[in-house]
Structure 1
Amino acid sequence: MVLFSKTPDVIYSRTFNGSFPAFASWAQFRDLKTDQQFRVLNIHTDYASRSNRLQSIALVTDRIRPWMDAGENLFVIGDLNARLGDRSVRMLETAGLTFAPVKGSTYHFNRGLNLFGAIDHIAHAGQVTRVGGPHVLRERFAGEWPTDHYPVVADFVLTEP
């Protein structure tokens, strides 16, 4: 886990501007049949502070650089609080990530309101090919909205190096 702060490795440290703690978490997976590995980094950047978002994304790009340089298969997913084309998304693209083109809204205010473009994303790098989606599940489940964001899904395959 890395916290989006000036002290990213100190648990519960506040964000760059002192607001509530925000962080990224990751896990590494291995396909038991092919032995191929991939890493998933899940992030949620600050919705209220553009400065926090940009500094957080800069920290993410620094942290993923060794994984990217090693040729790892990597997915960066989550609520970036930024639409495709925004500066923070461009920073991740410059670092070598490719974003699945999520269309339409992914944030709905807990009411099914679709007012602006997607802020939840799936990006990838390495020997990864997107084969389906992305799809945004814009519906209630058992009568309830899935938090204040719609789930975003896509299908990928790991390809041979």
Structure 2
Amino acid sequence: MSFSVMSLNLRFGFAEDGPNNWVHRRCAYEPLLAEFPRDFYAFQEVNDFQATYLAHLLPDYCYIGQRPSAPERWQNNLLFYHKRWRCVHQEHFYLSATPDIPSRFEGSHWPRQCTMGIFDNDYCQTVLVNTHFDFDAEVQIRSARLIRERLRKHTAVGPIVIMGDFNSTPDSGCFAEFTTAKNDGCPTFCNAFSPPFIGTHHKFTGINGGAAIDWILYRGKLIVEHACVITRRFAERYPSDHYPVIAGFSCFSD
């Protein structure tokens, strides 16, 4: 059994980006999604009107992670999943000391969130996580620790994949929080990508020399079948100021 994922920071839909405003670049999403069909899409920085647009393009998918009654300019971290999968559990929480209410860690520039779901089909069950970290390095470490702790209760469920915009590179402290063994009984994560890492935040320039801040991490009985950063345009537009990152996994048993 195999499954595939994509992670992409859409770029805030109200941002004043001139020729790269959402209304000008949204045309890139239909060819992008058609060329790279996935079992799961993790989108960050999604305004409600962007969610509506994506749902129109993905009629065979459901999604979780949208906050009810949110102000118009608030953002969501959405997990779209193909209808051949069933979402049997979902969580939405804030990266803060009080994660179950809208809040943020001290030092965080913005309230940051995490969406988590358990999905199954007739062949396997997996946990998917979609998050967007703040800029502050210490806040990032605390956010990684919080996610690890929240995942502790799901260790026995099956393999876990974490995706998102981490605003930090694979040599950072928060990356080490996920990938370095701890004395907490939780398995460590692996990076779906191998060095040299391609920069994923290109600021609409198409340059590959930026920071590799968009990750796909995994643990459990998974083998990486492919992993790629998509660096080209669609409909003559970059979909975002971030590149989409994709991976495919196969599940195995002992």
TM-score under structure 2 length normalisation:
0.57
User: Which of 103, 106, 110 does residue 13 from structure 1 map onto?
Assistant: 103
Contact 1:4 1:16 in 2 (8 A): no
Amino acid in structure 1 at the alignment position of 2:248: D
Instruction: Give 1:153 deviation, angstroms.
Output: 0.5
User: Which of 180, 201, 204 does residue 110 from structure 1 map onto?
Assistant: 204
Correspondence for 2:66: none
Contact 2:137 2:173 in 1 (8 A): no
Question: Which structure has the bigger radius of gyration?
Answer: 2
Map 1:51-66 to 2 at 5 A: 51-66=138-153
User: Which of 98, 105, 108 does residue 190 from structure 2 map onto?
Assistant: 98
Amino acid in structure 1 at the alignment position of 2:166: L
Correspondence for 1:89: 175
Amino acid in structure 2 at the alignment position of 1:97: F
Gaps of 5+ in 1: none
Greater relative contact order (CA < 8 Å, ≥ 6 in sequence): 2
Gaps of 5+ in 2: 1-91, 181-186
Query: In structure 1, what is the Cα distance between the partners aligned to 2:171 and 2:192?
Result: 12
- Give the percent of matched residue pairs that are identical in Structure 1 and Structure 2: 28
User: Quick one: structure 1 residues 137 and 90, their matched pair in 2 at CA, closer, same or farther if it must change by over 3 Å?
Assistant: same
User: Which of 241, 246, 252 does residue 148 from structure 1 map onto?
Assistant: 241
Query: In structure 2, what is the Cα distance between the partners aligned to 1:74 and 1:18?
Result: 26
User: Quick one: structure 1 residues 18 and 110, their matched pair in 2 at CA, closer, same or farther if it must change by over 3 Å?
Assistant: same
Runs of 4+ in 1 over 4 A off after TM superposition: none
Q: 1:34-61 deviations in whole A, cap 9, x for unaligned? A: 2x100100111012x1122111111111
Compare 22-31 and 106-115 and name the one that shifted more: 106-115
Amino acid in structure 1 at the alignment position of 2:230: L
Correspondence for 1:136: 229
Instruction: Give 1:31 deviation, angstroms.
Output: 2.3
Query: In structure 1, what is the Cα distance between the partners aligned to 2:178 and 2:104?
Result: 23
Query: In structure 2, what is the Cα distance between the partners aligned to 1:119 and 1:19?
Result: 17
**Number of matched residues?**
155
Q: 1:72-102 deviations in whole A, cap 9, x for unaligned? A: 2100111111211221111101251111125
Query: In structure 2, what is the Cα distance between the partners aligned to 1:84 and 1:112?
Result: 21
Amino acid in structure 2 at the alignment position of 1:96: T
Instruction: Give 1:71 deviation, angstroms.
Output: 5.5
Query: In structure 2, what is the Cα distance between the partners aligned to 1:13 and 1:117?
Result: 27
Q: Secondary structure at the match of 2:118?
A: strand
Contact 2:221 2:251 in 1 (8 A): yes
Contact 1:71 1:126 in 2 (8 A): no
Query: In structure 2, what is the Cα distance between the partners aligned to 1:125 and 1:67?
Result: 12
Correspondence for 1:3: 94
Correspondence for 2:120: 30
Query: In structure 2, what is the Cα distance between the partners aligned to 1:14 and 1:59?
Result: 12
